[in-house]
Structure 1
Amino acid sequence: MSRSLRAHLLLTAVVFVWGATFVLIKGALRDVSPLLFNFIRMALAFACLAVVYRAHWKHVTRRAMVSGAVVGFCLAMGYQFQTAGLRLTSPSKSAFITGLVVVLVPLFSGIPLLRPAGAHVPQWNAYLGALVAFVGIVLLTTPAGAGFDFVSVNRGDLLTFGCAVGFALHVLALAHTAPRVPYTQLALLQIGFCALFMAVSGPILEHPSIRWTPRVVVALLIAALLATAAAFTVQSWAQQFLPATHTALILALEPVFAWLTSFVILGERLNLRASAGALLILAGIGFTEFLPNRMQPTAHETVPLN
C-alpha cells in the first residue's frame, strides 16, 4: 500500500472519529461543564503525548515553543467555542457549522498576513463557495419563517460559528509553522499550550462543575486519547503526503459522519429547511474544493523530510 493511499485512509478514519465524538460529547455535557471537559481532555492528551514523545523534549527550540503557543491558542479558541456551543445545539448542526472551516480557510488566505508562503490567492470558486455556504448556514440555524432574522439564531449556533473561525485560523497557523518545526514537537506543544490556555480561560468564562459518571469518563478517555492525542499525530503525519485540497475534502466528511452517528444513536432527523441548509453547506465546500484553479503541492513535495 502506497504512503498516499495509507494517508488517505488514516485521515478518513480520524475524521470519522471526530464526527462520531459529537454525539459522545453531547451526552457527557449533561454531567460536566463544557470548558472543564475541554481542559481535562487536553491535559490527558498532553500527558499521553509527553510520555510518547519524551525523547523530543531536549530538542525543543525557541521557534518550536513560539509556534506551539500560536497554534495552541487557535486550537483552544476552536474547541472552547465548539464545546460551549454543542451544549446549546444539536450534534449534527454543530458538525455542519464546524464544516465551514473548509470555506473559511481559502477566504482568510485572501489576507496577505494570514496567507501561508507559496499559497495562491483565493479564486472565484472560493467566494462562490462562501456565499452558498452562508445561505446554507442561515437555513440550518434559523427557525422556519424567520428568514434572515439573526435575532432568532440559536446562541449555540453562533458559538459554533466562532469555533469554525478558530479552527480555520488553526489550519493557517499550522500551514505557517509545520514546514519549520518537526511535526512531533508541534503536535506535543500545541496540545500543551492549548491545555494551558483552557486552564486560564475556563474559570473566567464558566463556573466549572463535574459529576464523575461513566459516560463522562468514557467520553474523556475517547476524546483525549483517540480523538486528540492519536488523531493529531496521525493528521500531522498524513498531511505530509496529501495535497491541501485532498485534506480539505476529507475534513468535509466530518459533518456527514456526525449526522450519521446522530441519526443512528439519537434518531435525530433534520427537517426539510435544515436539510436544504446542510446540503448547501456541503455544496459550498464542494465549490471551494472541487473546482481549484491551481493544484497545491503537498508538504512532502515542498519541504524535505528529516
Structure 2
Amino acid sequence: MTKKLKSDIMLILVTVIWGSTFIIVKNATSVIPVYNFLFLRFLIAFIVLAILYGRRLVNIDRKTFIVSVLVGTMLFLGYAFQTLGLKYTTASKSGFISGFNVVLVPILEAFFLKAKLSKTSRISVILAMVGLLLITTNVDLKINFGDFLTFLCAVSFAFQIVLIAKYAPSVDTISFATIQILVVATLSGILSFIYEKPTIPTNKTVWFALILTGIFATAFALTVQNTMQANTSATHAAIIFSLEPVFSAITAFLVAGEVMTLKSIIGGFLMLLSMILSEMPSKDKLRA
C-alpha cells in the first residue's frame, strides 16, 4: 500500500467520523451552549493527547508552536463563523457555503504553495461543488449577513487545510495537532465566558457526545488529518473532506430515519465520483 493510498483511506475515515457525529453534536448543543460544548470537547481532546504525547510538547520547537497557533486560530474561526452564521441563515445554506472551501483550497494552494491544478482535479472540484449543491437542499441565491459569516467560515477552513499542507511535512505533526486543539479550546472558553453562561453538564447524553467527539472526532481526527495531509495535496484533501455531508446524510437516515431525497442521492453520487476521479492520475502526470 502506497503512502498516498494509506493517507486517503485515513482521511476518508476522518470524514466518516466527522459526518457521523454531526447529529450527536446537534443534539448536545441543544442542551448546552455551543462554545461551552466546543471548549469542553477540545479540552478533552487536548488532555488525551497531552497524556499520550506530553514529552513531545515539552520539547516543541518555536516554529512548530507558531504555525500551530496560526492554524489553530483558523480552525477556531471556522467553527466560530459557522456557529454565528447559523443564527442568521438556514442549515442547508450553511452546509453548502461551508463546503465552498473545496473551491477556495485550490485557489489558495496555487497562490501560496505555487501548486498547479491538473485538469482532473479541476473536474473533481466542479463535481464536488455540484454534488454539494444538490445534497444541501433548499439553497436560494439571496445573500444575507449569516451567509457572509458562513463564507468567512469556508475561508477559514480553506486556510487551515492549505496551511496544514504547507507545514505538516516539516514539523512534528503530533505536537502540531495538539497545539491547534489547545488554541481552539482556549478561544472557545474565552467566548463562552464572555457571551454564554458556561456550565459543567450533568446530562449523560451530553457527556457521551463530549467524550465521543473529544476523543475520536477531535483528538484522533485532527492528529490523522495533520499527519496524513503531509502525503497529499491540499486540494485532494479538500475533495475528500467535502464528502462530510454525504456521510452525515447517511447517518441521519440510519440513526434518525431522515429520508434522503433523490436529489440528495444524486448529489452524494457526484461527490463520491469526484473523489474517485481525483484518485486517477492526470494526463499531465502520465506524460511526465
For the aligned pair, the TM-score class normalised by the smaller chain equals: 0.7 to 0.9
Partner of residue 58, structure 1: 58
Give the superposition deviation at 1:196.
1.7
Answer yes or no: is 1:175 the counterpart of 2:165. yes
Residues 1:259 and 2:249 are matched in the alignment: yes
- Paired position in structure 1 for 2:142: 149
CA contact (8 A) 1:107 1:127 kept: no
Amino acid at match of 1:99: G
How big is the shift at 1:220?
A: 0.5
Q: Which amino acid aligns with 1:170?
A: Q
- Aligned match of 1:198: 188
Task: Report the Cα distance in structure 1 between the residues aligned to 2:223 and 2:283, rounded to whole angstroms.
Answer: 30
One-letter amino acid of the structure 2 residue matched with residue 203 of structure 1: F
Q: Separation in 2 of the partners of 1:222 and 1:254?
A: 17
Q: Distance in 1 between matches of 2:2 and 2:126?
A: 34
Partner of 2:71: helix, strand, or coil?
Answer: helix
- Displacement of 1:264 in angstroms is 2.1
Q: TM-score, normalised by structure 2?
A: 0.78
Cα distance in 2 for partners of 1:124, 1:70 equals: 31
Is the alpha carbon distance of 1:158 and 1:20 closer, same or farther for their aligned partners in structure 2, counting shifts above 3 Å? farther
**How many corresponding residue pairs?**
283
Choose from 174, 179, 184 the match for 1:189: 179
* 1-structure distance, mates of 2:204, 2:30: 12
- Map of 1:229 onto structure 2: 219
Deviation by residue 1:178-201 (Cα, 9 ceiling, x = unmatched): 233211120111111222222223
C-alpha distance 158-260 of structure 1, shift in aligned 2 (>3 A): farther
Mark the runs of 5 or more structure 2 residues left unpaired by the alignment. none
More helix as a share of residues: 2
Q: Trace 1:1-306 onto structure 2 (pairs within 5 A).
A: 1-84=1-84, 89-90=90-91, 95-110=95-110, 112=111, 115-116=112-113, 118-120=114-116, 126=122, 133=129, 137=133, 140=136, 148-151=141-144, 155=146, 159-208=149-198, 211-269=201-259, 275=264, 282=271
Change (3 A) 1:81 1:130: farther
Shift of 1:46: 0.8
Contact 1:137 1:281 in 2 (8 A): no
Q: Cα distance 1:239–1:177, how it changes in 2: closer, same or farther (>3 A)? A: closer
Percentage of pairs with the same residue: 33
Given that 2:20 and 2:248 are in contact with CA atoms closer than 8 Å, whether structure 1 keeps it comes out as yes
Inter-CA distance 27–4: structure 2 relative to 1 (3 Å threshold): same
How far off its partner does 1:240 sit? 3.4
Assess, with a 3 A threshold, how the Cα gap between structure 1 residues 21 and 132 changes in structure 2: closer, same or farther: closer
Q: Distance in 1 between matches of 2:254 and 2:265?
A: 20
Deviation digits for residues 105-158 of structure 1, max 9, x if unmatched? 113335x4xx12x42379897599579948975994656xxx53335x9x4x66
Alignment partners' CA distance in 2, 1:209 and 1:294: 55
Unaligned runs of 5+ in 1: 296-306
